[in-house]
Amino acid sequence: MEARRASMDKRRRLHPLPVLRMAVKQSSPPRDFFAALHRPGLNIIAELKKASPSRGVLRSDFDAKTLGVALASAGAAALSVVTEEEFFQGSLANLRVTRAAVEVPVLRKDFLFDPWQIWEARSVNADSFLLIAAILSDGQLSELLAAGRELGMEPLVEVHTREELQRALRAGARIIGVNNRDLRTFDVRLETSFELIREIPRDCVAVSESGLRAGSDLDRLSDAGFNAFLIGESLMQAPDPAAALRALLGASASEGSPPAATD
């Protein structure tokens, strides 16, 4: 967070809000992220992430545009592009070129805490963005949700505990992501999703994140009520990410068709 604040301060001096507003006026209309995740069946948000602080470089031959096109063609309902530069080796340029090359919605994944960053995301044609409840106050959650909706973007609000889930719902979140990874310990428990799904309203889109590697995991979570699944590291580490995604969707289909999403 400290690094992101310093980076944002530098970028904001170069691109003050009036400049971003002009860029947004020239951007293409946002795609409907909520609708993309609310389709019947298994909706995969495939994440483009070159590296992480805990695992180092995940993919040395990382090319965001090529990967994004391949994953969208393989059946991804949406893409998530990590844009944090210092620790994850991401960039806004990756998001811009990927979004221009695909037809599915593209989410900006970063540590976002200021409305200026939401305008920045829209200026490079992001269709949605991530909000991490654990790093935001109630006031920030509400403010950033409102900023996104002003720009036609519905954010993915990530939670890990019941308390964070209730805070997200009070703020009015419509897309709830349950992160199975504890950000303090890095332990991953799929049970976190099963524990929280009962408290996510049916009119919200429920997304399970982290630790999803098998079609059977997706089927169980879909049966429990999840509409979508964010998958990154297992795809990025696969020799052929698109083939891995097709295999994952095919494995799930062979184990039984998932139920249709409900309103």
- Select which of 80, 84, 94, 109 is catalytic: 109
109 is catalytic: yes
- Select which of 128, 210, 227, 252 is catalytic: 210
User: Residue type at 263?
Assistant: D
- Select which of 47, 84, 120, 164 is catalytic: 47
25 is catalytic: no
- Select which of 158, 193, 222, 233 is catalytic: 158
- Select which of 84, 154, 164, 209 is catalytic: 209
65 is catalytic: no
209 is catalytic: yes
- Select which of 80, 179, 180, 208 is catalytic: 179
43 is catalytic: no
Q: Active-site residues: which are they?
A: 47, 49, 109, 158, 179, 209-210
